[in-house]
Chain A
Amino acid sequence: MTDTLIARPHARLPLPGPLPNRLQLTEDGQLRHMLTIEGLNRELMTEILDTAESFANMNEKAVKKVPLLRGKTIVNLFFEASTRTRTTFELAAKRLSADVLNVNISTSSAVKGESLLDTLRNIEAMNVDMFVVRHEESGAAHFIARHVMPGISVLNAGDGRHAHPTQALLDMFTIRRHKGDFTKLKVAIVGDILHSRVARSQIHALNILQTGEVRVVAPCSLLPADVDQLGVQVYNDLDEGLKDVDVIIMLRLQRERMEHAHLPSEHEYYQLFGLTARRLQLAHPTCLVMHPGPANRGVEIESAVADGPHSVILEQVTYGISVRMAVMSMVMGAHQA
């Protein structure tokens, strides 16, 4: 008697869950939702940036409005407080002539025990066309995109530590405007990589655009496991990490990092990882200084640098509107196609 089971052909094991793009792209490769940068290709990224470029030109004119999304209803569904991101999304929607509804959930339904899906269904029932979602949990935008009615687009405005795709796109837009070609650039992302959705999206975006070198600079307690597998060079020393870089992206340090034993003090962090005018001299002379905001002056960045000639921090905010207009118009286009 043999020990083998009766041999029969059986179906192959199913593939692991859907890749990010099965959810966010249509079959012909257009943006249906904007959930994550990961998995987008260079052509699509470039198309988004080119579209944003045309809106940027318009935004500099006296009449800043186009009727592209006239009659469409866009809901800003924010489960986490935000001023900058929400207002630029709102402005972007209004410049595309859409109607905008701002819903801040952190204080209303969530407290009453209403589930995320219930909230979604209720607003969906008002015949809306697009959700712009910010949520403190990673994967929230994916969850909503998976359960939303067909025809409604979901834009991720930040989910937990996972992704903040439009922030990364506006950063790429800013870099491209100043530097052009990415392939020769060295970019350093400095600070709390572990908790940063912005850093994750930036790393994917920079790699898709074939950036020469992407560095992350942080103490080991603020680096996620196996971070090098995202395609970055890891530095624990800021002076070394800044050497000859063309772009420095500083990340915000949250106060609660001290409470959870990631760091001893803001003081020591600033001594070791704060961007000062002295340290900036280690970078390339035409280096850009960026920050997704809001910056903690004297914690991660010196005021003289934040307001200095290398800083493009306010430009990032301005371009945020154009990039969000581009993404909004493209996802609505994909639905109408």
Chain B
Amino acid sequence: MSVLIENVRILDPVDGFDAIGELVVQGSEILARGQAPEGFEPRRRIDGSGLWAFPGLIDLAARLREPGQEHKATIASETLAAARGGITSLVVPPDTEPPVDSPAEIELINRRAHQACGVRVYVLGALTHQLEGQQLAEMAALMQAGARGVSNASKPLASLLVLRRALEYATTFGLTIVLSAQDPALTGSGCMHEGAVSTRLGLAGIPEAAETAALGAILALVEQTGARVHVARLSTRRGAEMIAKARAEGLPISADVAAHQLFLTEVDVAEFDPNCHVIPPLRGQRDRDGLRAAVARGEISAICSDHQPHEPDSKLGPFASTEPGISSLETLLPLTLRLVEDGLLSLHEALARVTTGPAEILDFAQGRLTPGARADFVLWDPAAMHEVRSEDWLSAGRNTPFFNWTFAGQTRETWVAGRPVWTRPAEDTV
């Protein structure tokens, strides 16, 4: 099927393209961007007046909870929430139940994703057997089954020796290793940033050094092995500085940050708000500003949702005993664009952090609107006001601190492989 969207403002961060014109979709691919080929007659025409078209978002970290935790969410429920949020490709960490440490789990997830709304779902394979941190997982088999990279999610490794061997082995196959920088002993039983607020609330703190000490070890081993490592979800200013320095020295390392880390701080935890219980924790104002600066300079090249939907009971209890995480697929795009309003990034830079940036990290072909690219894109209505409301929330996890926040702009339609996977209901406007 061929579709022509006319009078739409096309924004393509891959080369800074920005013009009002025609976006032409042929089958599952982009045929033309700007102007349709002469004499082209589409099967369908869409009036894109007043709308923007930009590549669908690629989210590097989203828990879909399937298999194993379907009481929290399912692939079906969360891919629909992603589509509403303008996300067309999701990367799932391997900490499902059971973990993704054999081709069977990858096949299961792929099968469920194919039955869902159409948003692309990619899997990171386990770095170690059962994520136990001891014995290496069968990475070659995982890669053949479709794993985009390998990771131990947030689970610790037994030693730096295991990490070294895992990096070496993964490098044999050119796999990107996704690591979280979090020293388990320094993290201990901590549940929020160690600082003035944790002291006031009497909550066990996670010191900055839990991130920087782990990062120091990772950087030393990247230098030793030459492995391609992506550090997931930085939380400290100092950590961002370490990444920037390592990149300047030419190490094959990249990093992302969860969108909420760019807006919230430890202060938002008060008084014991379980929706602000996240790991790594919300840190201080200086950290938030440092992370923002690193995103602006491109040293942190991707913003992810770090989506972790929970059933209500998981968040009903004293702060430390609630489960960490925010349901965030539906706020990734609005928060990223808020960075433009805040004057931190240009519109193209902001879009790059959620499209071309993550695409580069895991070698995705999508994340662009150039002819021949996959027709994954968002039709965005910049004039619609959008209040984050529980009534029209699609994720099965309603654990977000962003309810009642109001944003400029809203997703009108989300397309994957040349067909719409989500269209905003007519009454869904503020």
Contacts and interface: CB of A to CB of B under 8 A. Distances in A.
B70 to A, nearest CB: 20
Given A226-B195, A226-B199, 6 more contacts: A10-B407, A11-B404, A17-B269, A117-B316, A142-B272, A224-B198
B337 A20 contact: no
A93 B321 CA distance: 31
A135 B319 CA distance: 12
Interface of A is mostly: loop
Interface centre among A3, A139, A143 (most CB of B within 10 A): A139
A117 B315 CA distance: 11
A5 B386 CA distance: 14
Interface in A130-189: 135, 137-140, 142-143, 147, 159-163
Contact of B194 (A10, A116, A225): A225
Contacts of B382: 5-6
The 10 closest A-B pairs by CB, nearest first: A162-B202, A161-B202, A139-B272, A137-B318, A224-B199, A226-B196, A138-B202, A11-B406, A140-B318, A3-B347
Interface of B: 9, 18-20, 194-196, 198-205, 207, 267-273, 276, 313, 316-321, 337, 340-341, 346-348, 382-383, 385, 387, 404-409
A3 B340 contact: yes
Q: Chain B's interface: helix, strand, loop or mixed, by majority?
A: mixed
Contacts of A23: 271
Interface of A: 1, 3-8, 10-11, 13-14, 16-20, 23, 38, 115-117, 135, 137-140, 142-143, 147, 159-163, 197, 200, 224-227, 229-230
A5 B342 CA distance: 11
20 contacts: A1-B19, A11-B404, A11-B406, A16-B268, A16-B270, A117-B316, A135-B318, A138-B201, A139-B271, A139-B320, A140-B318, A142-B272, A143-B318, A159-B202, A160-B202, A160-B318, A162-B202, A200-B200, A224-B199, A226-B196
A23 B341 CA distance: 34
Nearest to B350: A3
A137 B203 CA distance: 8
A38 B319 contact: no
A3 B346 contact: yes
Contact of B341 (A5, A116, A117, A135): A5
A137 B189 CA distance: 12
A143 B272 contact: yes
Contacts of B20: 1
A138 B203 contact: yes
A229 B408 contact: no
B207 to A, nearest CB: 8
Contacts of B408: 5-8, 10
Nearest to A140: B318
A147 to B, nearest CB: 8
A61 B308 CA distance: 60
